[in-house]
A and B are shown apart, each in its own frame.
Chain A
Amino acid sequence: MDPPEVSRDLCRKAGYTFTFLSDPNAEVIRRYDLLHVGGGTDGHDIARPAEFLVDSARVVRWVNFTEDFRVRARGDEMLVAAKSLR
């Protein structure tokens, strides 16, 4: 949801080197049915947390929809999911 400039600050502070995309109009978030209406701290719409592992045929091979937005997929869980596809 954040504009690219805000995400750039976040990436710099957190040291992220992966591709970090912005969806300020929640266009793709809606396409993936992940919009959390009024879920932001100041009441604006945000994305619910979700993780998708997509193969080169664009087919979803693994997903994680948390029941509690505080609980996210861990890096090692996502690596295990990716390795199990090989």
Chain B
Amino acid sequence: MPDMIQSRWNWALWLGFLLALGALLCNAVFFVNPPGQRAIPWLSVLLAGVSLILLVRGLQRAFGQPRVYRGKILSSILALVSLLLVGVAIFSFFQARAIPASAGAPKVGQRAPDFTLADTNGQSVSMAQLFAPGADDSQVVPPKEVLLIFYRGYW
């Protein structure tokens, strides 16, 4: 008797894999500092969550109806790789939020602590010097404001 069962494409598994990849690739977006980037961490978590649901559904199909959705081994490998991507995406999310509260940092209306630090040529620069006439591009009037950017080192 010929095999009457029509084999079907396990789309849930493949879509789950693509969303897992998307969840992880969200991390690359931050380097271009796009508008609306505050939503991207949550988008990443959303993609990871939907991916997990699809992976479970895909595996259920692969193992529940192996004659329809062929490739138990392939689906297991794909699910495992996807799970790894989802794991890294979720880990990045929590790691990126594990930053100190900085309760003692100067707030709006408070005085910014003075400092003197070396610039890239090793010359000492103080806060007062940053407000001196000619400290910015105008070269004539003193800057009205100074923007202090603290960063994590190289990024």
Contact = CB atoms under 8 A, between A and B. Distances in A.
Contacts of A19: 119, 125, 130, 135
A59 B111 contact: yes
Interface residues on B, range: 35 or more
Interface residues on A, range: 35 or more
B121 A52 contact: no
A58 B97 contact: no
B74 interface: no
Contacts of A6: 154
Interface stretch (B14-22, B50-58, B59-67, B98-106): B98-106
Interface in A30-83: 31-37, 39-40, 46-56, 58-63, 65-76, 78, 82
A4 B120 contact: yes
A62 B40 CA distance: 24
From DSSP, what is the main secondary structure of chain A's interface residues? mixed
The winner among B107, B114, B119, B130 for most chain A CB atoms within 10 A is: B119
A56 B131 contact: yes
B96 A39 contact: no
A54 B106 CA distance: 10
Given A32-B105, A49-B150, A78-B147, A21 B30 contact: no
Contacts of A35: 100
Given A22-B120, A32-B113, A82 B145 contact: yes
12 contacts: A2-B154, A21-B115, A50-B102, A53-B148, A54-B127, A55-B144, A60-B109, A70-B30, A71-B40, A74-B33, A74-B37, A76-B35
Interface of A: 1-2, 4-8, 10-11, 19-23, 27-29, 31-37, 39-40, 46-56, 58-63, 65-76, 78, 82, 85-86
